[in-house]
Structures are given as structure tokens and as C-alpha cells.
Amino acid sequence: MAIVSENPTYAGLSCCAQPDAAYSTNGSLDSIVLLGTAVACVTYDSALERIKALAREPRATAVCPSNTHILGEARHNSEFARVLARFDLVLPDGMPVVWALNFRGAGLKDRVYGPYFMRHTLRHTPRPWRHFFFGDSEECLVELRRALVQLQPDIKIVGMLSPPFRPFTEADEVSFADTINNADPDFVWVALPGVRMERWIIDNQARYRRGVFLAVGDAFALLSGRQSFAPPWMQRMGLTWAYRLSKEPLRLGPRYLRYNSIFLFYLLWDVLRRRA
């Protein structure tokens, strides 16, 4: 059965609003539009330098590691496309994303996987850089703090907050904003379920004075040791999803079937349109 786009403004929203590729001042590729979203052609190191620059801005900024799920949802859903378009930096989180970018000339050797990027950033941002962690359970945050202190003994954790596991009320949002603004973090690491995380970051940006809000999903559970990483060989082959599926088939099976199919469909459709 063909997949019908829910994003009727795709051509005008993405392809016409920005070029297919953007270049930095030295002529290297800066970003490539993939399924309608501009994805940065970055490494762990260059992405780290970009978010350090964002942390110095006098406003709240947003960073999203993008895998097939995120890009497929944005292409298929015009409302989520508008959410993703407001992020300051979209990273190539999955190997299929990297392969698609390289097909367009990116020349990337690796992805910028959200949990690894969080670990890389924390290793290279000792004091006076300030970190806040928002999401997951109280138990996970306790274990995460212990793991992060071992990872970076000079880390400055200015706060951790486990939000209620229900839809947030206006009173909740006011309380979150007061807590995070008073902590004055440079980086706010956000771990909420699914695309709810990206929507929460963008919907609430105006409440925050400054700080880089990073959507890192399962990073808290992985870096705390509550979940295990896929073996390196599976990651290199783009099979992280298969490893996770083997751990949680009932929860992840329908999601992967839907969004991997959507990503592949639109990727092939765009290739054929470009060649035509």
C-alpha cells in the first residue's frame, strides 16, 4: 500500500525555503536537506563546537539528533516538520541517515549518535560549563549522576528533574521553567518519550532565558547503565534498531515497521524525482 503524505506543504516548506545543500565559509558542506529537513554534516567534535557557540547565545536554543524515525515523521507530518524546522541544529543520528547524506556528497565517516554525543560533550565540558538533566525516573537520575561523575569528575551538574509521567499541566511547565532558569544551565539534556520530546522543547522555548536544549531520548537510560548499547559491529552496520527491537519487540516493533518504511519510501521517492 502506498504511503500518502500528510505534508502537503512539503515542496514549499522545505525544498523551496532552503537550498538542497548549504556550505560553510571554507567551501565544505555544512548541511544537506534530507526528506525536507536540513541535516548538519558534522562530526562529534564539530557538533560540540557548534553547541558551545549556541550556549553562549542570550536565548534558548535547540538541538535534535535525527534518525529515520524523526526524519520520516517530519516528512510525513507537516505539523512535526514545522517543529523540527525550528531546531537550531539537526544532527545525523543514525547510520541510514549518514548513508543517505553521503549519497549526496557529505563524506561523513560516522553518525553523531545522541547518547554518544552526550557522553562526548560531558567529557569535554568540565567546569565552568553547567549541565541540567530533565526526564526519566528519579531512580535513573540517581544512577546517571553516579555514572557522569565517573565519566567527568569535574562535571558541574546544576540540577536534575524527573517530570511526572503524565501530560504536563500549565502549572508543571511554570515550575519546570522556574527550576531550570534559576539553575542557569549552559546545556539542558532532555529525555522524554518519542517525538513528544522535540515538541516539548520547541513549544516551551519562550519560557527559558538561555541554554541549549538537547533531545537525547534514551541517553539517560543507556549512560546510567539501565539499558545496554548495541554491539559496535551492529552500530556500524546500522542495526542498532534491530538490537533494540530484540529487547523490546512489542513496544518497538510497530514503531520501527512504520517509520523505517516511511523513511525508505520518501528517500527513494526523492531520488527518483531528482533523477527525473
pLDDT of residue 22: 79
Question: Cell 553518525 sits at which residue?
Answer: 111
Q: What is the 3-state secondary structure (H, E, C) of 64-85?
A: EEECHHHHHHHHHEHHHHHHHH
Buried b / exposed e over 219-256, threshold 16 CB at 10 Å, is bbbbbbebbebbeeebbeebebbeebbeeeeeeeeeeb
pLDDT of residue 24: 66
pLDDT means per 10 residues, the chain with 276 residues, are 36 45 66 96 97 97 96 95 97 95 94 97 98 97 98 98 96 98 98 93 98 97 94 89 84 80 86 76
Contact predicate 257/249, CB 8 Å: no
Q: Which amino acid is at 75?
A: R
Q: What is the CA radius of gyration of the chain?
A: 18
pTM of the predicted structure, to 2 decimals? 0.88
Beta strand 157-161 pairing with 187-191 = unpaired
